[in-house]
A and B are shown apart, each in its own frame.
Chain A
Amino acid sequence: MNSAGSKPRSLRARLNLRTLVRGRDARIYAVLLLIALAFPMVAMFATGSTALISQAGHAGTFVLLAIGLNVVVGFAGLLDLGYAAFFAIGAYTYALFASSQLGSSPLHHSYHLPFWLMIFVGMFVAAAAGVILGFPTLRLRGDYLAIVTLGFGEIVPQLSYNLPQWTGGINAIGGIDQPSLPAWITGPWAGANGISIIQGATCRVIGSAKSFAPCFSFGFDPIAYYVLVLIMIIAAVVLVGNLYRSRLGRAWMAIREDEVAAAAMGINTVTTKLLAFAIGASFSGFAGAYYGASIGLVSPDDFLFIVSITVLVMVVLGGMGSITGVIVGALAIYFVLNTFLPSLPPTVESLANTVGLGSLNASNGDWPGLAQETQRINFLVYGLILVLMMLLRPQGIFPSRVREQEFKHAAVQEDEAAIEAAHSS
C-alpha cells in the first residue's frame, strides 16, 4: 500500500524536475551570454586595459576544447586522455601553413593560407587523425582507448620537440599570420577608444607570397579575438546541442549506457563511436587553429599531458554530457588555474604583513619566503580541489538532466534495496 501511494508522487516529482532542469539550461545560457556580452565593457571600465579580455579570449580556447571533449567523454562515454594531441594537430596545421616556417624546412617554400580556410582544414586534419587512431582501437574495450590516447598524447608533443626542422622544436613556430578580413568590413568598433585593430593594413593575397592588398587585420587586438572566439563557441554550442538531440546523439548515449544492448538494438557501435571520436577531435582542431592565430606562437610545451588532464577535469567537474555544465566547468577551472592560484602568493604576503608576521616574507635558510612557499603550494591546492569536488559532487556542477535522473534513479534503487534488506533481516 505504501509503495502504491508513493509511486505516482515520485513520478510527478520527476516530471517537475525535468521541466525545471530544462528551464535551468535555458537560464544558464542566458546568464552566460549576458556575462559574455557585458564582460569586455565592464573589464575595460574597471581596469582600463584589455589584459582581462585577452585572458578571456584564452579561456575561450579551453571552453571550445571542453565542448569538444564533452562529445567524446560525456556523450559517448569514451575516455580520451590525449585530447591535447588533437589540439596540437590543429594548432600546428595552422602554424605550418600560415607562417614562414615551411620556408626553412626541407620543403623550402612557405605557405600563407588564410585563417578562415585553415580553421576548417585544421578541423578536418584533427578529425582525420582521430579516425586513424580510433579505427583500430575503438573495436576494443573502453579502457584501452584511454590508454591508446594517453600514448598518442605523449607522442605528439615529443615528435614536435624532436623534429625541429619541421616544427621549430623547442623554439616553437612564431610569426603566425593573424586572421584578416576584406578591407570593406570596418564597423563602428574599428579604431575607437584605443582599440588596436589595424586599419588600412595590408595582407597577403591568397596563393601569393609576395603581393599584398589592403585589408582589415586582427593584429593583436584582444577584443577582436574575444568576439571571434565567442562566435566560435556559440557555433559549437548550437552544433553540439543539435547533435545531442539527433539520432546520432541518442545512439551515443545508448552506447554510453550499455554497449551490448545498443548493438542489439541495431546501432553500429564502431561507426558511432568513431564519429564521436572524430567529431570531438575536430573541435579540438578548430580550437587549435584559433589558438595558434590568437597567441601567434605554437610551442610543444602548450600540448603536454597536463593540458589533456585539465580539459578532462573541466568536463568532469562541469558535469559530463551537459553542455552548460562543461562551459561553466571550463571557466571555473580556468579561473582557478590562471587567476586564483597565481594571485595567492601576493595575497598571503600582504596578509602576513597586516597581521604582523611580515618577517615570514623574507627567505631565510631553508625557508624560501612566504610568497615562494605559497606558490609551491599551488599544485597541492589544485589536487585538493579536484579530490574534494569529486567527493562532494561526483556528477559535476551542472550534470546533464538525463544523467541527473540516472543518479537519482540509482539512489532510489539503492534506498529500495536497503529498505528491502532491512525488512528481510
Chain B
Amino acid sequence: MSVPDFGFYIICGVAAVALAIQAIAHPTAFIQISIFGIADGAMYALVALGYTMVYGIIELINFAHGDVFTMGAYIGTAILGFFAVNENSFTTINLVALLLVFPVVMLIMGAINIGIERIAYRPLRNAPRLAPLITAIGMSFVLEGVMFLWHGPATVHVPDLLPHGPGFQTTIGGVFIGFKDVFVVVTAVVLVTLLAIFINRTRLGKAMRATAQDRDAAQLMGIDINRTIAATFFIGALLAGAGGMIWGLYYNNIFYNLGFRTGLVAFTSAVLGGIGNIPGAAIGGLLIGLISAYSDYYIGSKWTEVVIFGILIGILVFKPTGLLGMRVPEK
C-alpha cells in the first residue's frame, strides 16, 4: 500500500467514524438525511453518466452537459404547459403528461446534443486539446443564454404534478418518505439499468467501448467513429434530459444557470467513481448526493461546496483513478 493510498483511507475512515457516531446518537435524523441524499444522488448520477461517457470516448470535459440538463427541465416545463395538469391531486391528465413528457424531452435533448457535437466538437477533433474545451464552454454560455433569453433571470416554476400530499407519504419510525423520493430513485435506477444493458449487450454499446479504448484501432476494425461518438452524446443527453426533468418535478424550481453548479457536482461524482467508468459514475453520484446531504445537515450548507470540491481534490491527490477506475497508461 503506497503512502497516498494510506492517507486516503485514513481520511475516509475518520469521516466514516464521525458519521457512525452521529448515526448511533440520532438514528432518525441520520436515516432521514440519507434518504434526501439518495434522491439527490440519483439525479447527480444521471448527469455524471453523460460526463463520464463523453470523457471516456473523446477525453473532453463537456462543460455544456450541465446546461443540457437544465435545458431538459426548461423544455419539459414548456411541454407540460400544453397539458391541464392538476397540481393538487393526481389526475389521469397528470399521468398522461408524465408518461409523454419524459420520452419527448429525452429525444429533444438527444437531438440538441448531437447538434452541439456536430457543430462544436467534431470539426475540432484533431485540433489542440484546449480548442474543444473552449467551444464546450462557449456552448454552455449559448445554452444558458437561450434559457436566459427565454425566461429571464427569475426562477421558473415546474408544475408539481407528481402525487404528493397526505395520501402519498409515509412515516416509518419518524422517518418521512414521500412518493417523490421513491419516484426519483426508481426512475434513475431504471434508466441506469437500461444504459448498462445497452452498453454491455448491443453492437453500438460494444462499438462505444471499443472506441473509448482505442479510437484508431476501433476505426481499423470498421467502426464508424463519428456515428459512435454522436451516439454517445445522444445517450448522455437522454440521461441528462431525464435528470433535468426529474430535478424539476422534485424541486419544482429551476433557473437558467442551475446546470453550472449541478454540472460541477456531477462531474465531481464522475471523477470520484473513476472518470470514464460507467458504474463508477452512478456510484459516485450516489455517494456525492449522500455526502452533500450529510454536509448540509452536520456541517452547514454553506460549507457543502467546500466539502465537495475538497473531496474532488483529495480523490485526485490520493486516489487519482477514482473508486472504480483502472490505471490508465499515459498516451
Q: How far is the CB of A352 from chain B (nearest CB, A)?
A: 17
Report yes or no: B145 in contact with A368, Cβ–Cβ below 8 A. Answer: no
Chain A residue numbers with a CB within 8 Å of B302 are 158, 161-162
* Complex: chain A residue closest to B137, CB-CB: A309
User: Which residues of chain A come closer than 8 Å to B141, judged between CB atoms?
Assistant: 379-380, 382-383, 386
Say yes or no: A387-B139 contact (C-beta < 8 A), given A79-B130, A150-B264.
yes
Inside 8 A of B267's CB, which chain A residues have their CB? 147
**The stretch of B80-88, B105-113, B202-210, B303-311 that contacts the partner chain:** B303-311
A390 & B134 in contact (Cβ 8 Å cutoff): yes
Contact across chains for A146 and B61 when beta carbons are under 8 A apart: yes
Residue interface mask B3-23, A partner, CB < 8 A = 1:
010000000000000000000
Q: Which of B268-317 contact A (CB under 8 A)?
A: 268, 271, 302-303, 305-306, 309-310, 312-313, 316-317
Shortest CB distance A206–B (Å): 36
A-B pair count, CB < 8 Å, reads 136
Q: Is B330 an interface residue (CB 8 A)?
A: yes
Q: Is B135's CB under 8 angstroms from A260's CB?
A: no
Which residues in chain A, 386-405, are within 8 Å of chain B measured between CB atoms? 386-387, 390-391, 394-395
CA distance A158 to B134 in the complex (A): 25
**Would A152 and B313 count as touching, CB distance under 8 A?**
yes
Partner of A391, one of B123, B137, B264: B123
Residue A378 interfacial (CB < 8 Å): yes
Chain B contacts for A73, CB-based, 8 A: 130
B303 and A390 form a contact (CB under 8 A) = no
B168 to chain A, nearest CB (A): 34
Would A394 and B137 count as touching, CB distance under 8 A? no
- Residues B149 and A383 in contact, CB atoms below 8 Å apart: no
**A316–B131 touching, CB < 8 Å:** yes
- Mostly, the B contact residues are helix
Q: Tell me, yes or no, whether B128 is within 8 Å of chain A by CB.
A: yes
Expressed in whole angstroms, the Cα–Cα distance for A344 and B149 within the complex equals: 15
A17 located at the interface, meaning its Cβ lies under 8 Å from any Cβ of chain B in the complex: no
B309 touches A387 (CB 8 A): no
Given contacts A137-B317, A316-B131, A383-B138, whether A143 and B124 have CB atoms under 8 Å apart is no
Q: How large is the interface on B (under 10, 10 to 19, 20 to 34, 35 or more residues)?
A: 35 or more
Judge if B127 is at the interface, Cβ distance under 8 Å. yes
Which chain A residues numbered 107 to 158 have a C-beta less than 8 Å away from chain B? 133, 136-137, 140-141, 143-144, 146-148, 150-152, 154-155, 158
Partner of B152, one of A148, A151, A152, A368: A368
Whether A381 sits at the interface, judged by CB under 8 Å, is yes
A387 to B140, CA, bound (A): 10
Partner of B135, one of A259, A381, A391: A391
The interface residues of chain A lying within 8 Å CB-to-CB of B124 are 390-391, 394
A33 within 8 A of B: no
Q: Say whether B268 contacts A380, CB under 8 Å.
A: no
Q: Known contacts A144-B316, A320-B130, A387-B135: does B306 contact A158 (CB below 8 Å)?
A: yes
Q: Which of A303-356 contact B (CB under 8 A)?
A: 305, 309, 312-313, 316-317, 320
What is the bound-complex CA distance between A390 and B125, given in angstroms? 12
* 8 Å CB contact of A384 from B129, B142, B328: B142
List the B side residues contacting A377 at CB < 8 Å: 145, 149
Tell me whether A159 is interfacial, beta carbon within 8 Å.
Answer: yes
Please tell me if A373 contacts chain B, counting CB pairs below 8 Å: yes
Q: A386-B137, A390-B124, A390-B131 are in contact. Are A162 and B330 (CB under 8 A)?
A: no
Q: A376: CB under 8 A from chain B? A: yes
Closest to A368 in B: B152
Distance (Å) between the CB of A384 and the closest chain B CB?
6
Is B102 among interface residues, defined by CB-CB distance under 8 A?
no
A162-B303, A383-B142, A387-B142 known; A151-B309 Cβ under 8 A: yes
Determine if B217 is an interface residue (Cβ-Cβ < 8 Å): no
Tell me the residues in window 18-62 of chain A with beta carbons closer than 8 Å to chain B beta carbons. Answer: none
Partner of A152, one of B127, B260, B268, B309: B309
Cα–Cα, bound, A199→B99 (Å)? 75
Contact check: which of B61, B145, B264, B313 meets A148 at CB < 8 Å?
B313
Closest Cβ of chain A to B265, distance in Å, is 10
Chain B residues in 8 Å Cβ range of A386: 134-135, 137-138, 141
CB–CB B264/A79 < 8 A: no
Is B181's CB within 8 Å of the partner chain A? no
B145 touches A378 (CB 8 A): yes
Contact with B140, one of A154, A317, A381, A383 (Cβ below 8 angstroms): A383
A223 to chain B, nearest CB (A): 35
Q: Give the residue name and chain of the A residue nearest to B271 (CB).
A: A147
A313 to B302, CA, bound (A): 30
Closest to B311 in A: A151
Given contacts A150-B264, A313-B137, contact A395 B128 (CB under 8 A): yes
CB–CB B309/A154 < 8 A: yes
Docked pose: A137 CA to B318 CA in angstroms: 9
Q: Which residue of A lies closest to B64 (CB)?
A: A383
CB-defined contacts of A316 to chain B, threshold 8 Å = 130-131, 134
Would A141 and B119 count as touching, CB distance under 8 A? no
Contact call B330/A141, Cβ cutoff below 8 A: yes
When the two chains form their complex, are residues A151 and B312 in contact, meaning their CB atoms are under 8 A apart?
A: yes
CA separation between A309 and B134, bound complex, in Å? 9
- How distant is the Cα of A171 from the Cα of B15 in the complex, in angstroms? 33
Cβ distance A168 to chain B, nearest Cβ, rounded Å = 15
- The answer to whether B306 touches A162, judged by C-beta atoms less than 8 angstroms apart, is yes
CB distance from A16 to the nearest CB of B (A): 25
Q: Evaluate contact between B139 and A159: CB separation under 8 angstroms.
A: no
Q: B191 interface residue, CB < 8 Å from A?
A: no
Q: Shortest Cβ distance from A170 into chain B, in angstroms? A: 11
Q: Is the CB of B135 within 8 A of A148?
A: no
Interface: B117 (CB within 8 A): no
- Closest 8 A/B residue pairs (Cβ): A380-B145, A383-B141, A386-B138, A379-B145, A383-B142, A151-B309, A387-B138, A151-B312
Can you pick out 20 interface pairs between chain A and chain B where the beta carbons lie within 8 Å of each other?
A: A73-B130, A79-B130, A141-B320, A141-B328, A143-B59, A143-B61, A146-B61, A151-B312, A152-B309, A154-B309, A309-B137, A316-B131, A368-B152, A380-B148, A383-B138, A384-B138, A387-B142, A390-B135, A394-B128, A410-B126
Interface residues, chain A, CB within 8 Å of chain B?
73, 79, 133, 136-137, 140-141, 143-144, 146-148, 150-152, 154-155, 158-159, 161-162, 259-260, 305, 309, 312-313, 316-317, 320, 368, 373, 376-387, 390-391, 394-395, 410
* Further pairs besides A133-B313, A140-B316, A158-B302: 4, Cβ < 8 Å: A154-B264, A379-B142, A382-B145, A384-B138
